[in-house]
Structure 1
Amino acid sequence: MSILDVTVVSVALETFAREFDATTADVAWTMTAYTLALATVIPLTGWAADRFGTKRLYLIAVALFTLGSVLCAIAPDLTWLIIFRVVQGLGGGMLMPLGMTILTRAAGPERLGRVMAVMGIPMLLGPIFGPILGGWLIDVASWHWIFLINLPIGIIGLVYAAKVLEKDDVQPSETFDFVGMLLLSPGLASFLYGVSSIPGAKEESGTAWTTEVVATMVIGAILTSLFIPWALRKSNIHPLMDLRLLKNKNLSVALITMSFFAIAFFGASLLFPLYFQMVRGEDALHAGLLLAPQGVGAILTMPLAGLLADKIGPGKIVMTALAVITVSVGMFTQIDADTSYVYLLSALFIMGLGLGGAMMPIMTAALATLTDHTVARGSTLLNIQQQVAASIGTAIFATLLTNFMQEKKSIQVAGEVAEAEARGGDAAVGELFARLGLTPESFQSLVDKVPGDQAASFASVFVVATALVGLCLVPAFFLPREKVHAPKDVMIGH
């Protein structure tokens, strides 16, 4: 549910704007606030898990996420909804690294691939089915239910986790890294805010590099950069994010591979529903349903990929899967406004087959050689990296799509005419026609070109996506190609 809630709200933004009489920019904060809360709390999770125990912290995270969900459902106005989304994000941000830590410790290195494959199902399907669930709940009930649905699931999760998870055996923890917290948490939040603001800035002002975007990104980058030497120093204070784990070659290679993959995958995931909605005229619900073949393909290959990762190591599986994804994304470079749905859904299914064999084996490679003591820190590092890469990927692809579309005269003119009509009616449209030298016939000719030009813009962005996925093959080549064995007594980085 924490993964679903990153995307489930996306289809409710128009409803929020109408219900709360707010602008699109204002309601977008319901998504941004959740993301920033995730970025703030994830770095704290590794230390907190060591200090308080994974079970106790997991129960707190589920309770906080569930409470935040209920508060969101009863929010009286947009300001309170944004505040409650932060509460929800603080709980949701801890759930993924904690869940990964609990499962990794329970599985051990011999079964890690299979367990990661199970965990990968919600990680891959959450972004795909979030908009479907959100659209359906809004259609059959109301926007309140995209949050209220978390209440029964949260209660079941609390009761079940309290019963089945083993009691914590907490060891004395290092002193809390206050300096690291003051550098890393606001640094990540500031940087991600700047990155996530790029598409909106580009659309509104014509340039991605507004003062707000540049200032927040620079501040975030400076704070995060200052954290690096602080984290690498020798001290009795354990750093908030343990960069010394990067001495582990498998972890470092897996993180680099995952960074490229997350940028390409999460960025491209933005394009598929937009293509179906903008070019093919589908509503949000049907656009989401058309992505189902991707999920089906992933479910088919993920268990097998997890089993093979345990038996023969993740390297060969990831290389094969990335090659399949590269081919499938490349198929989208050939789309136009009338591309057969059979072709589109086949490409998505093939992509799903590749996704099922890529993401979780990469994570298996990252975590398999960590000892029990360092698993929580490694999970935190992996989740931070994935959050940053996903935000960067989304910003890159949204900005590229805007750039390509702004270069098309038909799209530009159609947008200007629609804006003039909304602003001043027929009189404003007449003035615009006169200024641009348009006649009704020439304008209609341009309008007829819009779907084709939109599709061409998407195809151009998919060329970049194909190149990025293909680039993942370079670091993936260095992933282990045999069964991974974890050290029993040696702590990574010491």
Structure 2
Amino acid sequence: MASTTADEPTHLPPRERFWVAVAIVPCGSMQGMDTFAVSVALPIMQGSFSATITEISWVLTSYLVAAAIFMPFFGWASRKVGRKKLLLCTIAGFTVCTVLVATSTSLYELILFRFIQGIFSAGLNPLSQQVLLAAYPREEHPKAFSWMSSGRMVGVMVGPILGGFLTELLDWRWVFWANIPVTLAAFYLVARYIPEGGVQKEAKFDLFGFICLSVAILFLQLMLDQGERSEWFESNMIIAFAALAGIGAYLFAVHISTSRNTYVDPRVFLNRDFFIGMVMVFMLGFMIYGMAGLLPKVVQHHMGHPPTSAGLVMAMRGIGSITGATVAGWLLQGKDPRPTVTLGLLSMAGSMWLLSLITPDVPILYVMLIVILQGFGIGAFTVPITACAFYSLDPALRPDGTVMNSLARRLGTSIGISVLVSVLVHKTQSVRTSLTEHISPERLRELPLPESWNPDEQPGVMRLNKVVDQEAEFLGFLFDFQLMTVLMLCLLPLVLLMRLDPKKKE
């Protein structure tokens, strides 16, 4: 296959483009499987290392912090060594770290290897996007991104089920061993079918920009991760994290605006299509992973279903997403993207609204159907907004565009989880206060209550408190679903600003 450079939009023949898309699929799957399978295995890992909740949470936090910090680095690195070589190094490093994590003998080893694994995982999504953008002509970008989205959703769909199954029957280490065949397949397919390209000899490393942005991302991630436990800005530590993140972001913004050959080219943010796409991707990350942390708990703790049922419910979202991405890729070739984006937004908003109306006794099948609708919306939304973000972006800016687009999604994930958890906690407290104001021993004696709820005895009072806490938390979850409905609908005005003709350049 012929090599291409970042400023030569020489696209591959149809047959070679097909195999490039096939090679990218496992790159998305391996990352999705790892992230979601680990979240299922965390309780078992906590017991295995006799760790506290705070200590074991660093298994996820270290991974997410590393991925966020080093994601922009791969924009510069792809220009320096080329897309294919860097992607192969990334997959190889991810594979080695997976083995190291699976053979960890202490919690500190596990956290260290997860941090290094997060560094390599940071390059998978932006490099995959760069490969597809270079291989496919602009009018076929939606089709290419539908392949990529399907691969990611396969991992999201399989990860929770496989993680729960392997953890229950074997050991938490098998969660990582199970990903090795996928990483090996990704390495082979990339080595076999991805063409060389993307090297720019004049690429120079901007150390000051790297430090400033890394400081901003590091302390933002730490603030978001530790905020709820430390009661947010009532803690001096959280205030310090916020101040350092703000200083880093300010210095980075001033630096890229006043210097040449910067860590991230500021011209990428001046492109209207890209900026709108980045905002929408941020909100998509806010919803997808925030939802992943809410719904399983509702299914298990409030609807009374086992963990396997919760895993199946979340797997339905993957099925819907693959369907939505496939339909979007077919609809969007050279056509106005706005109807498809609107369909995706309304599907996601509608699914969240339906979830905000559920009760603890609704059939699990009904919840699965809602999640399938949500997944369809995610797929139908992801493909056009990703493709539109790069419609008019200069090919020379694609390395910066792909890393910032991926970083926006990652930060949306972190902020989404923090915001939704904080809203859940405060809404639960508010609802509990409201409920207890209407409960008195005299009023309870007038109601036909079970004997175990006797307000004159300590066990009865404890039982009543437990019921009140459970109801308050359930209503808090419903409020989160309502909030996400509103946030999705607030994106509709941005659809009007999207470009009508995808072939038109600025």
1:443 aligns with 2:468: no
Contact 1:3–1:127 (Cα < 8 Å) also in 2: yes
Output the CA distance in 1 between the equivalents of 2:384 and 2:36: 24
The answer on 1:220 being equivalent to 2:249 is no
Q: TM-score, normalised by structure 2?
A: 0.85
Q: Report the residue type matching 2:215 in the other structure.
A: P
Q: Tell me the residue number matched to 1:490.
A: none
Q: Does structure 1 conserve the Cα–Cα contact (< 8 Å) formed by 2:323 and 2:376?
A: yes
Partner secondary structure for residue 229 of structure 2: helix
- Paired position in structure 2 for 1:19: 48
Which residue pairs with 2:162 in the alignment? 133
Counterparts of 1:79 and 1:214 in 2: how far apart (Å)? 27
Q: Any residues of structure 2 matched to 1:190-205 within 5 Å, and which?
A: 190-202=219-231
Query: Which letter maps to 1:478?
Result: L
Matches of residues 67-216 of structure 1 in structure 2 within 5 Å? 67-168=96-197, 170-202=199-231, 209-216=234-241
Deviates more, 1:394-403 or 1:128-137: 128-137
- Give 1:353 shift: 2.0
Q: Is the 8 A contact 1:313 1:484 kept in 2?
A: no
Contact 1:131 1:284 in 2 (8 A): no
Using the TM superposition, name which of 377-386 and 193-202 deviates more: 193-202
Shift of 1:129: 4.0
Could you say if the C-alpha distance between residues 479 and 169 of structure 1 is closer, same or farther in structure 2, counting changes exceeding 3 Å? closer
Deviation at 1:2, TM superposition (A): 1.7
Q: 1:410 to 1:342 in 2, by over 3 A?
A: farther
The residue aligned with 1:356 is 379
* RMSD of equivalent CA atoms: 2.4
Q: 1:18 to 1:410 in 2, by over 3 A?
A: farther
Following superposition, the deviation at residue 175 of structure 1 comes to 1.8
What is the Cα deviation at residue 88 of structure 1? 0.9
Q: Which moved more, 1:362-371 or 1:155-164?
A: 155-164
Q: 1:297 to 1:454 in 2, by over 3 A?
A: same
How is 1:79-478 mapped onto 2 (pairs within 5 angstroms)? Answer: 79-168=108-197, 170-202=199-231, 209-235=234-260, 237=261, 239-409=262-432, 439-478=458-497
Measured in 1, the distance between the counterparts of 2:322 and 2:198 equals 35
- Mapped to 2, the partners of 1:170 and 1:454 lie a distance apart of 53
* 1:331-374 deviation line (CA, Å, top 9, x unaligned): 11112222232332222122122112101211111012223322
Q: Is the 8 A contact 1:11 1:284 kept in 2?
A: no
Residue type of the partner of 1:229? V
Q: Would the aligned equivalents of 2:273 and 2:389 in 1 still touch at CA under 8 Å?
A: yes
Paired amino acid for 2:330? L
Distance 1:481 1:124, change over 3 A: farther
Given that 1:61 and 1:92 are in contact with CA atoms closer than 8 Å, whether structure 2 keeps it comes out as yes
Give, in angstroms, the shift of residue 92 of structure 1: 0.7
* Contact 2:319/2:375 (8 A) holds in 1: yes
Deviation at 1:25, TM superposition (A): 0.5
Q: Which runs of 5+ in 2 are unaligned?
A: 1-29, 437-454
In 1: Cα distance, 2:81 partner to 2:274 partner: 25
Corresponding position of 2:76: 47
Change in CA separation of 1:88 and 1:108 when aligned onto 2, cut-off 3 Å: same
| Superposed displacement of residue 60, structure 1 | 0.7
Contact 1:62 1:157 in 2 (8 A): yes
CA distance in 1, matches of 2:435, 2:249: 39
Q: Which amino acid aligns with 1:481?
A: L
Give the corresponding residue for 1:430: none
Q: Which amino acid aligns with 2:265?
A: D
Give the direction of change, closer, same or farther, for the CA distance of 1:438–1:118 in structure 2 (3 Å limit): farther
Determine if contact 2:58/2:111 at 8 Å carries over to the other structure: yes
Asked if the contact 1:405–1:412 (Cα under 8 Å) also holds between the matched residues in 2, the reply is: no
Distance, in Å, in 1 between the alignment partners of 2:308 and 2:230 is 27
Residues paired across the two proteins, number: 460
Taking the aligned partners of 2:216 and 2:85, their CA distance within structure 1 comes to: 28
1:28-82 deviations in Å (ceiling 9; x for gaps): 0000000011012101011100011011101110011001100001111000000
Shift of 1:408: 4.5
Alpha-carbon shift at residue 208 of structure 1 (Å)? 6.2
Contact 1:405–1:411 (Cα < 8 Å) also in 2: no
Q: Between 181-190 and 110-119, report the one with greater CA deviation.
A: 181-190
CA shift, 1:448, in A, is 3.8
For residue 112 of structure 1, report the CA deviation from its aligned partner: 0.2
8 Å Cα contact 2:280/2:491 also seen in 1 = yes
- Tell me the distance in 2 between the aligned counterparts of 1:18 and 1:228: 44
Q: Distance in 2 between matches of 1:296 and 1:100?
A: 22
Q: CA deviation at 1:437?
A: 8.2
SS in 2 for 1:187: helix
CA distance in 2 between counterparts of 1:245 and 1:86 reads 29
What TM-score, normalized by structure 1, do the two folds share? 0.87
Residues 406-455 of structure 1, C-alpha deviation per residue, up to 9 Å, x if partnerless? 33449999xxxxxxxxxxxxxxxxxxxxxx98632333334344443332
Residue 58 and residue 411 in structure 1: after superposition, are their counterparts in 2 closer, same or farther (change >3 A)? farther
Q: Offset of 1:179 from its aligned partner?
A: 0.7
The 8 Å contact of residues 328 and 347 in structure 1, kept in 2 or not, is answered as yes
Cα distance in 2 for partners of 1:186, 1:447 equals: 43
